[in-house]
Structure 1
Amino acid sequence: MADAQAPASPLPWLLLLLSFVTGLVDAASVLGLGKVFTANMTGNIVFLGFGVVGTPGFAIWPFLVAIAAFLIGALPAGYTGRRLSARPLRRWLTIAALVEAALLWAAAGVAAWTGSVAPQGSALYAIIALTAVAMGFRNATIRQLKVPDLTTTVLTLTITGIAADSRLAGGTGANLARRIGSVLTIFLGAAAGATMLMRYGLAAPLALAGALVLLGTLACMAHPAARDMRAG
């Protein structure tokens, strides 16, 4: 994907924006949905292990629903990405943005309808499912772009690279700015999401997340450099 990684490409900036959105969604899910991650599945696997052995405060079903919904979202994204891989990237990413934004707004609608910062029952599972499908769809899309150090959701390898590839470790320090940017945007998104949730309720960060995904992608695709971008 040489064209998409060229200096003039808007794609890295879009992926940084999506990293900020991840922070918003994680803040909403962890703080409002009972310690459930809907953007990052590693935490759910760990928490599911806690729940299986009966650890207080860790019910099994929310984590199972999040993992299953994430897989459901990733499945059509993988299919769509392969089908559109030979076509201009703007069409593929616009479809992905529309899907993600619609799901996040639907989750925000459910949250607004409940009027609770921490929904329970069917509303809880609906919001978990909607946000996890959205993030599964996004993760599968970004994975196929193959842009180094901008996965938009997972930071373990990014943080490892900051140290392991640094000049202190005998490396070149390649992609340092991009890696630090990825960490900072998720951090800032989480802080903003937590603030919005505490002040305005669960629907606010989810609604903002959907708006940023759609508007940011449309702005990226309107950039002249986006016309010739391809995946792969």
Structure 2
Amino acid sequence: MTNATAVPFDPRVPLLLLLSVTTGLVDAASVLGLGKVFTANMTGNVVFLGFAAAGTPGFKVLPFIAAIASFLVGALISGRLGKASVGQTERRWLLISAVVEAALLWAAAIVAIDFDVATQAPQARLFAIIALTGIAMGYRNGTIRQLKVADLTTTVLTMTLTGLGADSSIAGGANTNWRRRVAAVVAIFAGAALGAWLLVKMGLVAPLAIAGVLVLFGTLACAWHPATLRKVAG
């Protein structure tokens, strides 16, 4: 017998979990390969920028400013595209966004080919990689924000972990979306671990290139589902 109360499958959920894995890959590449700079997690950059402003050894102001500025540019572009996509199919919007993000990540991987992680040189390539990945992650965040899928931001876990605790049965809650929340934490953890391993074993290019592959082909798989034919709401 069919359960009339069953929640319809949402293909965006596995896609956003896969994108969470790519967040771990990108942040592993940026933090470990670009001198402690986050290009997906802006909270970390603001904190590190504060350290740099106070003159803390090992922290430089310009890379953090570049990452934050690039992220904002990406978010602005995604916001414009989201508004332009109103009334069109979500499938079209997602595919365009995936192509843009993957292209930026692959461009960053190409730039990283001649980049020396140990000496952080040449400096022009350092800032180019920060800019490309920052724009890609800002673009992604702007798109995900407009999708409005609960508990899956793909980059930030603070509220996810807060929800796990505050909505738990121990706290008197109903364990709302606990599986999705745990999956989001595991996904970013797995991506970070994989990204760190790839960076150590194969260099900076590998995690960036693989992140682009996952973004594009994960979105293509999601787009096959009929649910993505719904119209983008204004």
Q: Which runs of 5+ in 2 are unaligned?
A: 1-6
Aligned equivalents of 1:118, 1:104: Cα separation in 2: 22
SS class of match (1:101): helix
Identity %: 62
Alignment of 1:163-178 (within 5 A): 163-178=165-180
Indicate whether 1:84 and 2:85 are aligned: yes
1:137-169 deviation per Cα after TM superposition (whole angstroms, max 9, x unaligned): 000000011111000000000000001000111
Does residue 60 of structure 1 match 2:61? yes
Q: CA deviation at 1:7?
A: 2.9
Q: Is the Cα–Cα contact under 8 Å of residues 117 and 201 in structure 1 kept in the other structure?
A: no
Give the structure-1-normalised TM-score: 0.94
Measured after TM superposition, the shift of residue 230 of structure 1 is 3.9
Quick one: distance in 1 between partners of 2:118 and 2:56? 24
Equivalent residues of 1:118, 1:202 under 8 A apart: no
**1-side partners of 2:160 and 2:103: how far apart?**
29
Displacement of 1:224 in angstroms is 2.7
Q: Write the mapping of 1:73-152 to structure 2, written as runs, cut at 5 A.
A: 73-114=74-115, 116=117, 119-120=120-121, 121-152=123-154
Report the residue type matching 1:18 in the other structure: L
Partner of 1:3: none
Q: Distance in 2 between matches of 1:34 and 1:46?
A: 14
- Relative to 1, partners in 2 of residues 1:103 and 1:217: Cα closer, same or farther, differing over 3 Å? same
Match of 2:11 in 1: 10
CA drift at 1:126 = 0.5
Aligned amino acid, residue 220 of structure 1: C
2:223 is matched with which residue?
221
- Could you tell me how far apart the structure 2 residues matched to 1:118 and 1:18 are? 30
State the alpha-carbon separation in 2 of the partners of residues 207 and 223 from structure 1.
Answer: 26
Aligned match of 2:196 in 194, 197, 211? 194
Q: Which residue of 1 aligns with 2:3?
A: none
Q: 1-side partners of 2:14 and 2:229: how far apart?
A: 16
In 1, distance between residues paired with 2:25 and 2:178?
24
Match of 2:70 in 1: 69
CA separation in 2, counterparts of 1:41 and 1:172? 31
5 Å-filtered alignment, 1:13-28, equals 13-28=14-29
**Does the CA-based 8 Å contact 1:88-1:230 persist in structure 2?**
yes
Cα deviation, 1:90-113, whole Å, max 9, x if unaligned, reads 111111101100000000001113
Which of 198, 208, 211 is 1:209 aligned to? 211
Task: Determine helix, strand or coil for the equivalent of 1:57.
Answer: coil
Aligned partner letter, 2:204: L
TM-score calculated relative to the size of structure 2: 0.94
| 1:192 counterpart letter in structure 2 | L
Q: Within 2, Cα distance between the matches of 1:64 and 1:90?
A: 34
- Alignment root-mean-square deviation, CA: 1.3
The aligned length equals: 227
Residues 35 and 120 in structure 2, CA contact (< 8 A), matched pair in contact too: no
Contact 1:117 1:202 in 2 (8 A): no
Shift of 1:124: 0.6
